[in-house]
Amino acid sequence: MDLKDLPLTSIPAAAKPKAGGFSTRAIHWGYNPADHQGALIPPLYATSTFAFPDVAYGARCFEGKEQGYIYTRISNPTLALLESRLASLEEGAAAVVFGSGMGAITATLWSMLEPGDEILTDLTLYGCTFAFFHHGLTKFGVTVRHVDLTDPAQLSQAMGPKTRVVYFETPANPNMRLVDIEAVSAIAHQGGARVVVDNTYCTPYLQQPLLLGADVSVHSMTKYLGGHGDLTAGAAVFADADLAKHVRLFGLKDMTGAVMSAPDAQLVMRGLKTLTLRMDRHCQSAQTIAEFLHNHPATQVVHFPGLPSFPQHDLAKRQMRQFGGMIAFELKGGLAAGMRFMDALQLVTRAVSLGDAETLAQHPASMTHSTYTPEERAAHGISDGLVRLSIGLEDIEDLLADIAQALDR
């Protein structure tokens, strides 16, 4: 089966509205109800395979001469609409969606790296990404090196002839460190490497890495893009449509099979409709809570880009529209105090993940970053006493009251 020339979407150009603002595109892009018997909500194509009216039509599809669908592991009309919408919001050339955020990361990097290649990554990574790099890529002959990407000069020194990818999160999970996307992308491109940015914390509404020079922006859509804690999904948005097609036909179709379901794609499109409203509320509440934590005598340090005391506050103002809904902080009592704080919470929910309507608290050292050894956590800036908050959509007065009483304990 040779699918290299297969068209991967079949959304008619006429169905795409003229360019509008972010919220308008999040709601309308790529869909015209008039083309679907007036249905306001895009149809759900809950099918694994697609029937051909005759053999000749099927042959034309496989040859890439017909704009048709073959099998949902490759493409599906519901998924294609979501991909078109995400590409518009990120100002990219194309997008591919997956069954999880890790599906997006693994399929993308399997497609970009070969044995003998090198990937340079920041000091701080999400725990499962760290595990994939060190327990997955390295087994297949890919060298992984950590570099302090908060200092672009260190990347210049680290770049080598085998460096193919520079990968980082900004803000990073869980300690909120930022990387200058524009500066790092320029250095990476000079050395012939591509740049992949995990944009989960910000979403395209707060930050658009491709416009700052990155080649790929990956997301766990389980988080803010879905927004309701009822699905797992991932996405990668590409500046280069050819790279997107390669990731789809190799990383997704053959290497991982990390296919997103059509019902989950429809749920993500529902979430996109309220993304701007939700992110505005997340950001506003997080700013208030971060300021409260910063001024509380029990806290030792608060990591939040919106605080003037945050070391990279100026960078945050340059490359982020707002400062996000995530906060990390450490209490003066260290690990024991952090655990007491978490156990004392009554309204705030103790759970991993982020970006839900509910405010969530988690302890990275024992939860999301337990794949790190204690020595690795120390080396990568994740203290045992660090607490991470994903600020939800509850009334701010109720959140402040719950956090205050937990701190008082």
Active-site residue numbers?
Answer: 73, 126, 198, 223
Euclidean distance between the first and the last CA atom of the chain, given in angstroms as a whole number? 64
Buried b (16+ CB within 10 A) or exposed e, 269-282: bebbeebbebbebb
CB 194 within 8 A of CB 166: yes
CB 168 within 8 A of CB 179: yes
